[in-house]
Every structure is written in C-alpha cells, then in structure tokens.
Amino acid sequence: MEQDWTVKSKLTRFLYRHRGIEGIVYVLPFAALWGVFLAWPVGYGIYLSLFEWNPIKGSRFVGLENYVALFRDVRFLNALANTFKFAAMAVPLILGLGLLFALMLWSWGRTCRGAGFVQAVLFFPYLLTVSTVAITWKWMFDPDFGLVTHAFKALKVPAPVFLTEPAWALPAIAFATAWWLSGYRMVVFQAGLGDIPQELFEVASIDGARFRHKFLHIILPLLKPALLFSLVLTIISAFRTFGQVLMMTEGGPGRSTEVLALYLYWTAFEYFKIGKAAASGVVLLALTLILTLIGVKLLGLKSELQ
C-alpha cells in the first residue's frame, strides 16, 4: 500500500513538472486513429502513385510517369472538366438553397406555427443514403413516369430527357445532390444567424435600413465563419461525388457525366491500373486543397483560422 502511494506521488510530481505531457497523453488516442485511418492511407496513396503496381510480378518505380500519363489521357481530362462543371453547378446551388431556407426560417422566428415541421422536411433528405437519393431521383427524372416529366407536361412545356441527354445529365445530378445536401447547410447557417445580436437589427431598423441593407452589411459579414465551414464541406463533397453519378448515369451518356472519382474507380477496379488511379486521387486531393485555400482567401478569414 505504501509502495502504491509512492508510485502515485512520483507520477503526480512528474506530471506537475512536465505539464505539457498531460495534454499529449489526451491527444494520443485521436492522433493514433487519425494516423492509421487518414494520414497513412493518404501517404500510401502518394507512394503508390509513383509505382507501376503489380502484386504478382512486383511493383516497379516509375517516378512521375503516372502523372504524365494522366495529363495525356483524354478520358482523364474529360473527367477533370466534368468535375469542375459539376462543382460549378452544385456548390452555388447547395449553398444558395441552404442560405435561402435558413433565412426563411429565421425570418419566421419561433412564433410561426409549422416552422419546426418545415425545418424537419427540409433537413430530412440529408438523412438518406446516397443510394436512396440516386434511385429516388432516377425515378423522378424518368421520361415515362417521372414526376418531373409530368410536371413539365402539366405546364405544357416539352420535358427534356434528363439522364440520357448529355446537356441535361450533369445538371440533373447536381440538382439531386443539392436537394440531398442543402438541408445540412441550412442548419449550419441557422446556427450562424442565431449568433448575430438582435440589437444590430434593431439599430439598423431605427436608421431606416431595409432588408437588403441588413443582409449585405450585417448578415453576410457576421455569417462568414458559417459560410466558410459550409463552403469547405461543399467543395469537398462536390469533388468527391461518386455514388449518385454511378447509380444515376454510370458516367454516361457517352462520358458526359464521368467525374474524377468515377474515373479513379474505373481505372483502379476495372483496368487494375492502381498506380495511375492513385495518381488521379492525388490530383483530386490537391485540387480540393487548393480550392479550399482559395475559398479561405476570398472570405478573408485568416484571423478566425489563427
């Protein structure tokens, strides 16, 4: 008993003298999981991208040849262009709808009946899996019995064949993705709106400010942290888009909806060019990182990040 007390006393004195170690001990479990499930796969992916992978004959170091082959591959360049087109459509749509829904619910306030129900309805799609979303919207866009097609016919407007026309397929997937993800962004924006002091709006109202003035000079500046968080999440989601494209069009018609993640999948698991697929994954990672940094720069949030 006396020996245990001595050990505890020594341990207490050691932690008191080296206070930084206590924090490191708390961080270690997370750091271990982060290292095993995130840092190591990324590092191994970069390592694989430098090899011509062959588990039977043995892998051969090829340096940057996989990257050179990628940028000479017309199919990769097409997938890269499609990824940018998809992101250009999906990111503003998701953020715009999320902000619009949040402003609508925020303006209704807590006194409006049914606001909680509307919020639940708008958030509900985010709880669905990607396969459910893809199958639902594949039915909705069906040229024979889809609800969207019937809506066009009811308005006496010729309905496009959404998923089999190259011009419409990618926008249709972007719209389905926005329906799926905008509910979560709405919740993030609602949290940001709730943090804005009401006194600012009251003072602005006394000064005769209209809603557009309050939106531009109070809401948008104070909503920047929420905007940045949503922007980063949405850029990552847009560039990693895979499931809905695979299930709704499989990259078609032709290759008009083949995005980078789908190209990576075909290259790795249909053609078994693991090194080339790893190189396209590294390119995808670099693009996501660069665009995220550009978003941070544009929103001017250096102080918040520090």
Give the closest residue to 261 by CA, choosing from 229, 230, 293, 236. Answer: 236
Instruction: Give the pLDDT confidence score for residue 281 in this predicted structure.
Output: 93
89: CB partners within 8 A, 6+ apart: 170, 171, 174
Residue 299: per-residue pLDDT: 73
Residues of the chain with pLDDT under 70: 1-5, 15, 110-111, 300-306
* Structure confidence by residue, pLDDT tens digits, 62-108: 889 999 999 999 999 999 999 999 999 999 999 999 999 999 998 88
At residue 1, the pLDDT reads: 55
Exposure string of 258-273, with b = 16+ CB inside 10 Å and e = fewer, is bbbbbbbbbbbeeeeb
Q: What is the pLDDT of residue 110?
A: 62
Whole-angstrom Cα distance, residue 223 to residue 190? Answer: 10
HSE of 221, CA atoms in CB hemisphere, 13 A: 7
Question: pTM score, two decimals?
Answer: 0.85
pLDDT at 27: 85
CA 199/CA 218 separation, integer angstroms: 11
Helices (H), the chain: 2-17, 19-34, 40-48, 65-72, 74-108, 115-123, 130-140, 147-154, 166-194, 198-206, 211-214, 220-222, 224-239, 243-248, 260-269, 274-299, 302-305
Q: Which pLDDT belongs to residue 137?
A: 94
Q: What is the pLDDT of residues 27-42, one digit of tens each?
A: 888 899 998 888 999 9
